[in-house]
Amino acid sequence: MKLQLAIDLEDVDGAIELIQKTKADVDIFEYGTPLVINFGLEGLQKIREKFPDITLLADLKIMDVASYEVEQAYKYGADITTILAAAEDQSIKDAVGAAHKANRKLLVDMIGIHDVATRAQQIDALGADYIGTHTGYDLQALGETPLKTFKTIKQNVKNTQTAVAGGIKVTTAQKIIDAGPDLLIVGGGIATTDDPAQAAHEIKAMMPKD
Collapsing DSSP states into helix, strand and coil, what is residue 134?
strand
Question: Which residue range forms the structural domain that includes residue 11?
Answer: 2-206
- Looking up residue 19, the CATH number of its domain turns out to be 3.20.20.70
Query: Cβ distance 189 to 8 under 8 Å?
Result: no
pLDDT given for residue 79 in this prediction: 98
What is the value of pTM for the model shown?
0.94
pLDDT given for residue 154 in this prediction: 93
User: How far does CA 21 lie from the centroid of its chain?
Assistant: 19
pLDDT given for residue 135 in this prediction: 64
Q: In total, how many domains does the chain have?
A: 1
- Measured between alpha carbons, how far is 22 from 175 in angstroms, rounded to an integer? 22
Q: What is the pLDDT along the chain (210 residues), one digit of tens a residue?
A: 999 999 997 799 999 999 999 999 999 999 999 999 999 999 999 999 999 999 999 999 999 999 999 999 999 999 999 999 999 999 999 999 999 999 999 999 999 899 999 999 999 999 999 999 866 556 555 455 667 889 999 999 999 999 998 888 999 899 999 999 999 999 999 999 999 999 999 999 999 986
Collapsing DSSP states into helix, strand and coil, what is residue 137?
helix
CA angle 176, 85, 93 (to 5 degrees): 125
> What is the C-alpha end-to-end distance of the chain, expressed in Å?
6
Q: Which residues are CB-neighbours of 63 under 8 A, at least 6 positions away? A: 83, 84, 86, 87, 91
- Measured between alpha carbons, how far is 166 from 47 in angstroms, rounded to an integer? 24
